């Protein structure tokens, strides 16, 4: 009988269970969130939260005690260096369990366990940032309107300058076209006059030849 047995053995012997939960705690500290079954997540939460509480006091004794549970120097250093400063003001409840449905193979209930202070969506800092942005936006509305009007005025002035430049360029093009037309008309007139002169010379030569024949 299992009267008063509150430990979930997870279908494993004690040595296997301790090694598995220690590895899961190392993964949680390293990656800040892991996906696992709900039963394992509940067993992991009971195991890892006292270790995180122990990391609040950064001393040689605390590091040795945490290392006796985790057996990984890199994870211990990351726990004391990165995680401990962010959970100093929190009195327990360092992890969050979110149910994600059921596994396809054996229909086991799955979940996501994560460190509360390393989730940007649910943290209090993100909420404070959004409220500060909204308040600052209301104060700076007049300044933003003034800046927008200045930008519009600058764009209009640039457009007017561009239109003036385009107008001057159009006038220059028209003047050049008129000059080209005048030169073409003059050239055509000179060509016509030269043709008339050549025709008159030919007629003269023809008349002289006829007169010579008659004589």
Q: Is residue 19 domain-shared with residue 115, that is, in the same domain?
A: yes
Phi/psi region, residue 91 (left: phi>0; alpha: psi -120 to 50; beta: rest), is: beta
Q: Is residue 163 domain-shared with residue 113, that is, in the same domain?
A: no
Helix runs in the chain, H state only? 14-31, 38-54, 60-70, 73-78, 124-139, 141-214
Write down the pLDDT at residue 173: 67
Distance CA 67, CA 55 (A): 11
Q: Is residue 114 domain-shared with residue 170, that is, in the same domain?
A: no
Write down the pLDDT at residue 109: 96
47 is written with which tokens?
């195991």
Walk along the chain (215 residues) and give the pLDDT tens digit of each residue: 889 988 899 999 999 999 999 999 999 999 999 999 999 999 999 999 999 999 999 999 999 999 999 999 999 999 999 999 999 999 999 999 999 999 999 999 999 999 999 987 765 555 555 555 555 555 555 566 566 667 667 766 766 665 555 555 556 667 666 767 777 776 666 666 666 666 666 666 666 666 655 54
Residue 147 lies in a domain: yes
Q: Is residue 109 domain-shared with residue 145, that is, in the same domain?
A: no
Residue 134 lies in a domain: no
Q: Is residue 190 domain-shared with residue 148, that is, in the same domain?
A: yes
Q: Which 3 state secondary structure label does DSSP give 37?
A: strand
Q: Is residue 23 domain-shared with residue 109, that is, in the same domain?
A: yes
Q: Is residue 107 domain-shared with residue 172, that is, in the same domain?
A: no
CATH no. for residue 94?
Answer: 3.90.1030.10
Distance CA 199, CA 205 (A): 10
The residues pairing with 50 across neighbouring beta strands, listed in sequence order, are none
Residue 89 lies in a domain: yes
pTM of the predicted model, to two decimals?
0.56
Q: Is residue 69 domain-shared with residue 160, that is, in the same domain?
A: no
Residue 73 lies in a domain: yes
Which residue, 114, 108, 104, 119, is CA-closest to 38?
A: 108
Residue 128 — φ and ψ, nearest 5°? -65, -40
**Domain limit, last residue, from 90, 121, 152:** 121
Q: Is residue 182 domain-shared with residue 88, that is, in the same domain?
A: no
**Domain limit, last residue, from 121, 153, 187:** 121
Residue 8 lies in a domain: no
Q: Are 12 and 92 in contact (CB under 8 A)?
A: no
Q: Is residue 116 domain-shared with residue 75, that is, in the same domain?
A: yes
Residue 214 lies in a domain: no
Tally of domains within the chain: 2
Residue 212 lies in a domain: no
Q: Is residue 102 domain-shared with residue 53, that is, in the same domain?
A: yes
Residue 7 lies in a domain: no
Residues of the domain holding 157: 140-195
Q: Is residue 97 domain-shared with residue 24, that is, in the same domain?
A: yes
Instruction: Kindly state the DSSP code that residue 117 receives in the 8-state scheme.
Output: G
Write down the pLDDT at residue 154: 74
């Amino acid at each position: 009988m299992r009267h008063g047995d509150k430990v979930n053995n997870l279908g494993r012997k004690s040595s296997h269970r301790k090694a598995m939960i220690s590895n899961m705690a190392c993964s949680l500290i390293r990656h800040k969130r892991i996906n696992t079954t709900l039963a394992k997540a509940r067993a992991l939460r009971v195991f890892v939260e006292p270790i995180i509480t122990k990391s609040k006091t950064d001393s040689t004794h605390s590091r040795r005690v945490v290392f006796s549970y985790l057996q990984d120097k890199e994870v211990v250093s990351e726990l004391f260096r990165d995680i401990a400063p962010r959970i100093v003001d929190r009195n327990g409840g360092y992890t969050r369990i979110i149910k994600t449905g059921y596994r396809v193979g054996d229909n086991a209930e799955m979940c996501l366990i994560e460190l509360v202070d390393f989730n940007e969506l649910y943290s209090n800092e993100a909420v404070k940032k959004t409220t500060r942005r909204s308040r600052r936006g209301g104060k700076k509305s007049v300044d933003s309107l003034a800046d927008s009007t200045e930008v519009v005025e600058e764009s209009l002035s640039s457009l007017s300058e561009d239109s003036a430049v385009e107008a001057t360029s159009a006038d220059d093009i028209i003047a050049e076209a008129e000059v080209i037309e005048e030169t073409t008309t003059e050239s055509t007139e000179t060509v016509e006059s030269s043709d008339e002169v050549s025709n008159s010379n030919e007629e003269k030569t023809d008349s002289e030849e006829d007169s010579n024949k008659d004589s």
